[in-house]
C-alpha cells in the first residue's frame, strides 16, 4: 500500500481509503468490524465517516469499538453539517454547533481526538471566518488534528484558503468531493486546479459511480436486487443510461487488455492523479476490501491516461 502526504500537511494517508457510509445501514456491528479489520490487514489506514452516516450517528457508533484496537495506527476522519436533531442548533457550521458536534462525534467514535474533521457542506448562513476560528480552537485544544472541507465549490476552497492565511488560522488540508471516471466535474469547475495550486489533497468519494463502474450493471438487464442502483433510486436515473453503458464497455476492454478489472481501473485512474490524497472506496465485505486495496497498486502512464480521455470524449 502506498501512503501519501495529504495536501500541505505532514499527515500520511493510504492511497486507498475506506468510505464508511455503509456502516449502521447496510452493515451491522459485527460486519463493520470485519471490514475494518480487513482494511488494517491490507494496509488501508484512512477511514472516512460522517455523523449522519448510517442514520444519525450509527456509522460512528458501530465504528467506535471496532477501531479502538487500531486507533494509533489509523487516520480517522469524520464530518458534520447535516441535521442531527430538531431545531436550529443541530446543524450547520456555526461555532455553537461545531463545538457540540465534535464532542458528539468523539463520544460515538469512543475517541478523544479526530485526525481529520471536515465540514460536510458549506454553510451560506455562517461566515467562513467564524467556522475557521472555531476549527482553529479545536485544533489548538488537541481534539482535532487537521481540518478539511467536503462538497465545497472551487471558489469556496479558495475563499477558505485565503481567510485562513490572512487570519493566521489552520487551513483546510483536504477537499472531499465526488469524482470518478464518469463524474469529471472537479476538473470542469476548477477544483482540481485549485487543489494543485494551493496543495490541497483531493479525497474523491463515489469513485465507482455508486457501483456502476464495478461492471455488475449490464445493459438490458435489471439492476441486481439490493444494489445501490436498484429500484427507483435517483442514482439509477443518473448512471444507468445508454451512453454510460457504451463508455463502460470501452473502459472494460481497456482494463482487460492490461489484465485488470474495471474496479482496478476506476480506482487506479484516480490514484494516478497527483493531487489525489486517498480514494474513498466503500466496501460491504472483506473481499471487496481486498480488491480495493489491490487497485491502489496500479499506476497509469501518460499515454494510458490520454487514451482514457479519448474514450471519455474529454
Active site residues: 53
* C-alpha radius of gyration, the chain, whole number: 19
- 111 backbone φψ class: left, alpha, beta (φ>0; ψ -120 to 50): beta
Amino acid at each position: 500500500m502506498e501512503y501519501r502526504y495529504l495536501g500541505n500537511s505532514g499527515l500520511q494517508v493510504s492511497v486507498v481509503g475506506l468510505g464508511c457510509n455503509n456502516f449502521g445501514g447496510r452493515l451491522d456491528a459485527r460486519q463493520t468490524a470485519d471490514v475494518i479489520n480487513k482494511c488494517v490487514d491490507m494496509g488501508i489506514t484512512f477511514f472516512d465517516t460522517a455523523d449522519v452516516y448510517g442514520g444519525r450517528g450509527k456509522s460512528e457508533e458501530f465504528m467506535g469499538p471496532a477501531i479502538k484496537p487500531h486507533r494509533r495506527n489509523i487516520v480517522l476522519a469524520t464530518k458534520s453539517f447535516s441535521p442531527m436533531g430538531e431545531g436550529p442548533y443541530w446543524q450547520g457550521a456555526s461555532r455553537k454547533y461545531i463545538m457540540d458536534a465534535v464532542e458528539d462525534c468523539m463520544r460515538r467514535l469512543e475517541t478523544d481526538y479526530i485526525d481529520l474533521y471536515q465540514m460536510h457542506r458549506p454553510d451560506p448562513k455562517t461566515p467562513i471566518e467564524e467556522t475557521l476560528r472555531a476549527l482553529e480552537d479545536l485544533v489548538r485544544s488537541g481534539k482535532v488534528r487537521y481540518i478539511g472541507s467536503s462538497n465545497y465549490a472551487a471558489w469556496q476552497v479558495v475563499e477558505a484558503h485565503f481567510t485562513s492565511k490572512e487570519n493566521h488560522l489552520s487551513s483546510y488540508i483536504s477537499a472531499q468531493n465526488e469524482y470518478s471516471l464518469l463524474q469529471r466535474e472537479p476538473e470542469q469547475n476548477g477544483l482540481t486546479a485549485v487543489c494543485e495550486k494551493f496543495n490541497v489533497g483531493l479525497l474523491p468519494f463515489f469513485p465507482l459511480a455508486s457501483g456502476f463502474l464495478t461492471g455488475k450493471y449490464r445493459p438490458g438487464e435489471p439492476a441486481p436486487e439490493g444494489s445501490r442502483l436498484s429500484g427507483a433510486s435517483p442514482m439509477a436515473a443518473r448512471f444507468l443510461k445508454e451512453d454510460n453503458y457504451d463508455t463502460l464497455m470501452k473502459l472494460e476492454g481497456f482494463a482487460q487488455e492490461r489484465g485488470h478489472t474495471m474496479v482496478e481501473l476506476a480506482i487506479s485512474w484516480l490514484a494516478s492523479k497527483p493531487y489525489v490524497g486517498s480514494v474513498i472506496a466503500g466496501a460491504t465485505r472483506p473481499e471487496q476490501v481486498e480488491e480495493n486495496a489491490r487497485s491502489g497498486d496500479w499506476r497509469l502512464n501518460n499515454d494510458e491516461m490520454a487514451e482514457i480521455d479519448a474514450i471519455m470524449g474529454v
